[in-house]
Amino acid sequence: MILHVTSIGLLACSLYAQAPVNPGLAAVRQFEDRVAEYMSLRAKLKPESKPLKPTPSTEKILAHEHELAKRISAARADALRGEIFTPEVAVEFRRLIAITMHGPDAPAIRASLIRAEPVWLKALRVNHLYPHDVPLQSTPPSLLLHLPSLPRELQYRVVGNALVLLDVGADLIVDYLPHAIDPVP
Amino acid sequence: MRRRAIVFLLAAWMAGAAAKIILPLKPDSVRFAVIGDSGTGGAAQREVALEMEECRKSFPFDFVLMLGDNIYGHKTSKDYLRKFEEPYQGLLAAGVKFYASLGNHDDPNSTAYKPFNMDGKKYYSFKKGGVLFLALDSNYMDPAQLNWLKSELHGSNATWKICFFHHPLYSHGKMHGSDLDLRKLLEPIFQEQGVAVVFSGHEHVYERIKPQKGIYYFVVGNSGELRVHNLRHSPDTAAGFDTDRAFLLVEINGNSLYFQAISRTGETVDSGELAAPQHSGSTVAAR
């Protein structure tokens, strides 16, 4: 009996070892790991990265934002596009976005994108500030339902046809995925 | 400083007479104003603000809902001064509280700006009398916010549940129109959890929509910005105004909500009374 159970156990282990890894799931895990690394780095910048207490001083708000951005961008001085949206992650994200953009919700999402005042920037640069005078296009909620969830400090934002990973507190472009979304007229 | 004073006096003169308030002014009612797309820092915004001040003399409202795009363009301290603190200095000095929601032109970190009363949150709720107000961030309606919204609404037995946010679920503005994706997710929650009224901006006009699935929708996106003649004719429009700036005054007493939309020059462009939803259809009697 013991031998029988052990055999089944060994067989299961062997099958598990040979089971193909879902590349989509692996990519999402890789993305989540990279995001966690970023958040860990961000946390090391405390106490400056603590949420700002409400203040009537806009100078304080801007100073806090700039200080946080300065520290993060200095700590990631060599950051390149694709460090979080790695090639594997990019494939999976484009697949997830395509499912959403070509599924039954597609017309509503497209209309939402158009009506949200599409934004184009001359150049998107990792580790650079998102310009304050340029509006932030809203992200279609149906799209957010299909993408991996993010810590509240980060948001997915649409800029042109790119998906931008934005550090909201620092107003900093953490990474971006070009050609993620079909262009809207 | 002197130049600013002259501009203000000129704006006051141009704004014209105060509107005749036709709201009932019942004792113990919840009274507030609604503005949207206000933060231009231009003369028209200041004129609207002065008209609000004038109206407050006969309709003492306690707070103002801001429907987003509270500060357009740059976001320096001077901008906050010119696009918020100066235009509304009379109201702020009188102790009127402003409750802001975020528009696509706003800095997400403006949630930490104390005069916006957001307490550092992109979405939040507060209660006044028997009315529950929920400020939503329609720029980023992620699953976390949707869950929070459901929980807040479910846990409330308020007679009136009012949501306010930037992007309209229903609008007949030519520039943007309705946000269908947002509607698809929010409308079922609103229906299920008894939301009675929704205020939005984004479209630079005033529009009151005929009740949709028992919910009253207002677009007030012309308290600073304006797109002249931008309203498309629709049988779903109960009232519209797209030739000047406007704001809305609201009074809630028991099961009745009274509203009066007033233009920059003090003209009443819409008014009426709404009944609290009974979950079996609602009525509106527009004057």
* Chain B closest-CA separation from residue A7 CA (Å): 45
Write out the two tokens for A55: 């203040």
- Residues of A near B (CB-CB distance < 8 A)? 51-59, 61-62, 64-65, 105, 107-109, 111-112, 115-117, 132-133, 135-142, 144-145, 149-150, 152, 155, 168-169, 171
A56: nearest CA partner in chain B: B114
pLDDT of B282 > 50? The answer is no
Given CATH 3.60.21.10, say whether it is the number of domain B2-286: yes
Under-50 pLDDT residues of chain A: 1-3, 5-15
The ipTM (two decimal places) reads: 0.85
Write out the two tokens for A142: 């149906």
Average pLDDT, chain B: 92
Task: Give A59's contacts in chain B (Cβ within 8 Å).
Answer: 77
Residue whose token pair is 């594997």: A88
Q: What is the mean pLDDT of residues B84-94?
A: 98
Phi, psi angles (nearest 5°) of residue B173: -70, 145
Q: Where are the domains of chain B?
A: 2-286
pTM of the model: 0.89
Cα–Cα distances (Å) from B103 to A135, B38, B113, B140, B147, in that order, read: 9, 11, 15, 10, 21
User: pLDDT tens digit string along B14-62?
Assistant: 555 678 999 999 999 999 999 999 999 999 999 999 999 999 999 999 9
Nearest to A17 by CA among A9, A26, A28: A9
DSSP string computed for B61-128: --EEEE-S--S-S--SHHHHIIIIITTTHHHHHTT-EEEE---TTS-GGGGGBGGG--TT-SSEEEEE
> Hey, of A58, A62, A68, which one would you mutate to test binding to chain B, going by the most B CBs within 10 A of its CB?
A58
pLDDT of B280 > 80? The answer is no
> When comparing pLDDT for B97 and B18, which is higher?
B97
Which residues have C-beta within 8 Å of that of residue A15, sequence separation ≥ 6?
Answer: none
- Report the percentage of chain B scoring pLDDT > 70: 91
| Residue A5: predicted pLDDT | 45
**CB contact (8 A) between residue A133 and residue B75:** yes
> Hey, of B181, B185, B190, B232, which one would you mutate to test binding to chain A, going by the most A CBs within 10 A of its CB?
B181
User: Within 13 Å of residue B171, how many CA atoms lie on the same side as its CB?
Assistant: 33
DSSP string computed for B139-174: TB--HHHHHHHHHHHHT---SEEEEE-SS-SS--BS
| Residue B252: predicted pLDDT | 98
> Hey, of B72, B109, B146, which one would you mutate to test binding to chain A, going by the most A CBs within 10 A of its CB?
B109
A156: nearest CA partner in chain B: B140
| Residue A115: predicted pLDDT | 77
> When comparing pLDDT for B256 and B178, which is higher?
B256
